[in-house]
């Protein structure tokens, strides 16, 4: 069988609700690698919060982090990193404009530096993985460089209202996505970025055509990726919009949905 590229979202997809990779899914991915296929991760998480799973699968492939804002190869320093930031003045404009809405916090990330707008133990817990450098204080005063991403922490009632505002006022300059449970987060990156953009760059370097890309996802930050892949697979726990455009719907993240598709399609 020809070489395929298997692309994995993390939360709600590769990871169970307990944030682990099940044994069957792990064994199946290792079999796929042994059979000559490529396995990679594409996630909204920063690398520091995805490194554990990258290493657990023994990956040496490039990885897409921050929903496409960072594309790099942790195992190959010669691989040219692509880091695309949001203009600082745009971030400051967004920060000022969302003050009229109810939200819990604002967080900016510059690679592994985390800027938290308001003192918040919950935010500290959410971003502790990978031991980032954390600075507290009003982002309009503490943030002095273009961030990789801006996060808005808001409850389920206010998230659609804020996203509509972002679409109405800032759509020409930014992309905004919603993180999946259990994180009620809106993530903002530069306009034109998505997981699909990063995957396309990596696949072309590998010489793997789109029709031999199998991608798995569950949330709205996976929409472009699922549409781009030759075989876009939505998890059964995924959102309806993703299922509507997917080529296939598999079992949930707690039921080894990834393993089932790969066993059937790649004859593992």
Q: Among all residues, which ones are annotated catalytic?
A: 9
| N- to C-terminal Cα separation, the chain | 11
Q: Which residues contact 132 (CB under 8 A, 6 or more apart)?
A: 46, 48, 109, 112, 113, 114
Q: Treating both helix axes as pointing N-terminal to C-terminal, what angle do 23-34 and 257-265 enclose, rounded to 10 degrees? A: 30
CB atoms within 10 A of CB 227: 15
Cβ atoms of 235 and 13 within 8 Å: the answer is yes
What are the structure tokens assigned to 111, written together?
């690679």
CB atoms within 10 A of CB 139: 22
CA distance 209 to 211: 5
């Amino acid at each position: 069988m020809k070489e395929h590229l298997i692309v994995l979202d993390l939360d709600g997809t590769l990871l169970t609700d307990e944030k682990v990779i099940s044994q069957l899914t792990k064994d199946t991915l290792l079999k796929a690698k042994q059979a000559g296929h490529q396995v990679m991760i594409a996630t909204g998480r920063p690398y520091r919060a995805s490194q554990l799973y990258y290493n657990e699968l023994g990956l040496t492939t490039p990885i897409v982090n921050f929903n496409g804002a960072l594309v790099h190869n942790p195992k190959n320093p010669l691989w040219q990193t692509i880091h695309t930031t949001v203009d600082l003045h745009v971030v400051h404009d967004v920060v000022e404009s969302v003050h009229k809405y109810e939200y819990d916090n604002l967080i900016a990330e510059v690679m592994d530096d985390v800027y938290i707008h308001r003192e918040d133990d919950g935010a500290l817990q959410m971003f502790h993985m990978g031991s980032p450098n954390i600075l507290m204080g009003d982002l309009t005063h503490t943030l002095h460089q273009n961030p990789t991403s801006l996060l808005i922490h808001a409850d389920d009632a206010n998230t659609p209202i804020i996203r509509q505002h972002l679409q109405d006022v800032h759509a020409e300059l930014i992309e905004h996505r919603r993180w999946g449970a259990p994180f009620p987060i809106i993530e903002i990156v530069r306009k034109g970025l998505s997981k699909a953009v990063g995957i396309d760059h990596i696949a072309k370097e590998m010489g793997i055509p789109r029709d031999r890309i199998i991608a798995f996802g569950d949330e709205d930050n996976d929409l472009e990726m699922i549409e781009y892949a030759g075989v876009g697979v939505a998890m059964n726990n995924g959102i309806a919009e993703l299922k509507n455009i997917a080529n296939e719907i598999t079992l949930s993240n707690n039921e080894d949905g990834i393993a089932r598709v790969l066993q059937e399609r790649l004859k593992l």
